[in-house]
Amino acid sequence: GKPADCVLYYSPKDVPRMLGMIHGESGEGNFWPMVRYGQAHGNDAVCKNIILTKLGEPNVADPGHINDKHGDATTTERDIGLHAQNLCKLLEHITRRGDKATLPQLVKEWRSKTTELDCIKEYPPGKDLSAEECERVVICLLVEEIFAPKVHYNAYSSAVYIKLGASANRLMASPKPSVKLRFPKKEPKTPSASSRKTSSARKAISQAEDGWLSSNRRRSGASNGSSATAPSAKRKSTSSSKSRASKKSTTSKKTVTKRKATSTG
């Protein structure tokens, strides 16, 4: 009877992986409401409406069209209509050339700088969408039935390919496409402990160079310099005295030798 919390770990990459395991089973009908809830980043209003709809409550708003006032502080709503239209055109282009695309393959070609489609060259996703946000856009189009999954099974595993859905042609023909999607807000990057420590040390050194420590260093350097010159002068004076003494001694020896030679002669 006590309240409990349910923690749902969600990533757009999990959707095709899970869909490959449960496709065609009775649990697939419950899977998409969970995906919608994960796409809303844990929005309580979406969760409440999904539960009420499941329990058969009348006059419940569609979880996919809940007013923005129900949004919380962890998400922000953006219009991805033009990106969605470009994605539909890209998927149509892939289908016409006889290829198929999974979620990673579609995102990779969408973000490629060597794309052949002019619409993507003019409005690439890399300017305002990260790779994970691109995956979230694709899953949004699956939830809204603009895209549709196509599951292929082999002897060992399954592959989920993406194809155009029932609403794709209408979106591609729209002059002003509009698709709303809530994205998790990006948390500001906080500096690590090591970088904060390095920054503090650099700041302290900078302050020291501009403050009284620098003056003390200069004064100390000046006093050390003056004391250092004194022994040098002393050594110079001592060496010159020794040189004069040596010359004097040599001169006297020569004189004595000369006198001895004179007396002997």
Contact in structure between 19 and 149 (CB atoms under 8 Å): yes
* Extended strands (E) in 46-168: 75-79, 147-153, 158-164
Please check whether residue 191 lies inside any domain of the structure. no
Tokens (6 digits) for 36: 């919608």
Please check whether residue 228 lies inside any domain of the structure. no
Question: What's the domain count of the chain?
Answer: 1
Closest CA to 102 of 155, 35, 147, 166: 147
With bands split at pLDDT 50, 70 and 90, how would you rate the model's confidence at 178?
very high
The pLDDT tens digits for 193-222 are: 566 666 666 655 555 455 544 555 555 555
Please check whether residue 223 lies inside any domain of the structure. no
Higher pLDDT, 116 or 60: 116
For residue 66, what is the domain's CATH number? 1.10.10.10
Please check whether residue 95 lies inside any domain of the structure. yes
Give the model's pLDDT for residue 163: 95
User: For the ranges 11-20, 81-90, 185-194, which has the lowest average pLDDT?
Assistant: 185-194
Closest CA to 70 of 92, 88, 50, 97: 50
Query: How much is the pTM?
Result: 0.64
Please check whether residue 251 lies inside any domain of the structure. no
- Run of H or E residues at 181: strand 180-184
Enclosing domain of residue 29: 14-184
Count of other CB atoms within 10 angstroms of residue 142: 22
Coil, helix or strand at residue 151: strand
- Run of H or E residues at 20: helix 14-22
Higher pLDDT, 91 or 221: 91
The pLDDT tens digits for 133-166 are: 999 999 999 999 999 999 998 888 889 999 999 9
Please check whether residue 144 lies inside any domain of the structure. yes
pLDDT above 70 (res 49): yes
Contact in structure between 169 and 108 (CB atoms under 8 Å): no
pLDDT above 60 (res 249): no
Please check whether residue 190 lies inside any domain of the structure. no
